[in-house]
Homo-oligomer: A and B are copies of this chain.
Amino acid sequence: MDGLIVRGARLWQGPVADIAIAGGRIAAIGRELPAHAGSDTLEARGCLVMPGLVDGHAHLDKTLWGTPWHSHRAGPTLLERIDNERRVLGELGLSPQRQSARLLRHLVARGTTHVRTHVDVGPDMQLAHLHGVQAMCEAHREFIDVQIVAFPQTGVMRQPGTLDLLDQAALDGAQVIGGLDPIGVDNDPHGQLNAIFAIAERRGCGIDIHLHDRGETGAATIEMIAERTRALGLAGRVALSHAFCLGMLEPARLDAIVALLRDNDIAVMTHAPSGGTPFPPIRLLAERGVRLFTGSDGVRDCWSPLNTGDMLERAYLLAYLSGFRDDAGLELALTMATHGGAQVMGAEGYGLDVGCAADLVVVQAENAAEAVAMHPPRRWVIKRGRVVARDGSTMLPALD
Taking Cβ atoms with an 8 Å cutoff, the residues of A that contact B are: 68-69, 71-74, 274-277, 300, 304-306, 308, 316-317, 319-327, 330, 366-367, 369-370, 373-375, 377
Contact = CB atoms under 8 A, between A and B. Distances in A.
A305 B370 CA distance: 8
16 contacts: A69-B367, A69-B370, A74-B325, A274-B319, A274-B320, A274-B325, A275-B321, A275-B323, A276-B276, A300-B373, A304-B325, A305-B330, A306-B320, A306-B325, A308-B374, A377-B377
Contact of A305 (B74, B304, B321, B369): B369
Contacts of A375: 308
A68 B369 contact: no
A100 B308 CA distance: 31
A168 B51 CA distance: 54
Q: Is the interface of A mostly helix, strand, loop or mixed?
A: loop
A305 B69 contact: no
Contact of A69 (B72, B306, B366): B366
Contacts of A373: 300, 305-306, 308
B71 A326 contact: yes
A325 B72 contact: yes
How many copies make up the complex? Answer: 2
Contact of A326 (B73, B300, B319): B73
Nearest to A366: B69
Contact of A319 (B74, B306, B322): B306
A59 to B, nearest CB: 15
A390 B163 CA distance: 54
A273 to B, nearest CB: 9
Contacts of A369: 69, 71, 305
A72 B326 CA distance: 5
A72 B327 contact: yes
Given A373-B300, A373-B306, A274 B323 contact: yes
In the complex, the 4 A-B pairs of residues with the closest C-beta atoms, listed nearest first:
A275-B323, A72-B325, A305-B373, A69-B366
Most buried by B among A68, A69, A320, A375: A320
A324 B373 CA distance: 23
A271 to B, nearest CB: 11
Contacts of A366: 68-69
Nearest to A326: B72
A108 to B, nearest CB: 17
Contacts of A322: 275
Nearest to A304: B325
A306 B373 CA distance: 5
A375 B377 CA distance: 13
Contacts of A330: 305
Contacts of A308: 373-375
Contacts of A370: 69, 305
B320 A305 contact: no
Contacts of A277: 323
A97 to B, nearest CB: 24
Given A369-B305, A373-B308, A276 B71 contact: no
A327 B71 contact: yes
A391 B301 CA distance: 28
A330 B275 CA distance: 13
